Amino acid sequence: MKKSFPERKHISILTYLLTLPTLLTVELSYLATRAFAATSPVDPTSGCPGSSDTNPQIYTGLGCIPTSTSGFTSALLTFLAGTAGAISLVIMLIATIQIMTGGDNAEQVKKGKELFTGAITGLLFIIFSVTLLRIIAGDIINLPGFN
């Protein structure tokens, strides 16, 4: 029997939920960068409130980044832990949506639970590894920037 309607390629709602905020963020950051570029000073070190001769910082799109070794190490560790936490949160949200939309499909609910458990496990792994790194590098070895 011939089909009345041609086959359609369906796009899941998750695609729209993930694509739209990303495009809006890119567009808003572009507009903010253009507005800031028109009024920003030429000296990149003048916009940082905590910048001094002992703690030099440079103003970037990510904020004030220290240029000394000890300050940069701490800022990088904080940034990476925050980024990993944000990625873990997004994965947890995707897993929650997958569980909620699973309905009677036990396999999809199981995949969502596994994804959620994996995101929490990864987040705990990152938290404990950063804590262990700060204890070993900061308290035991006394490396600069880990105190």
Contacts of 59 (CB under 8 A, 6+ apart): 44, 45, 46, 47, 48
The residue with tokens 């507005």 is: 35
pLDDT-derived band at 125, boundaries 50, 70, 90? very high
Please state, in angstroms and rounded to a whole number, the distance separating the CA atoms of residues 147 and 143. Answer: 8
What pLDDT digit, counting tens, does each position of 51-90 carry? 666 678 887 777 778 888 777 877 888 888 889 999 999 9
- The pTM for the full model equals 0.59
Q: Which helix (H) or strand (E) holds 70?
A: helix 69-100
What pLDDT digit, counting tens, does each position of 79-92 carry? 888 899 999 999 99
Query: Which tokens in the block code for residue 71?
Result: 């300050």
CA gyration radius for the chain? 23
Which residue type is seen at 34? R
At 118, give phi and psi (nearest 5°): -65, -40
Cβ(77)–Cβ(63) under 8 Å?
no
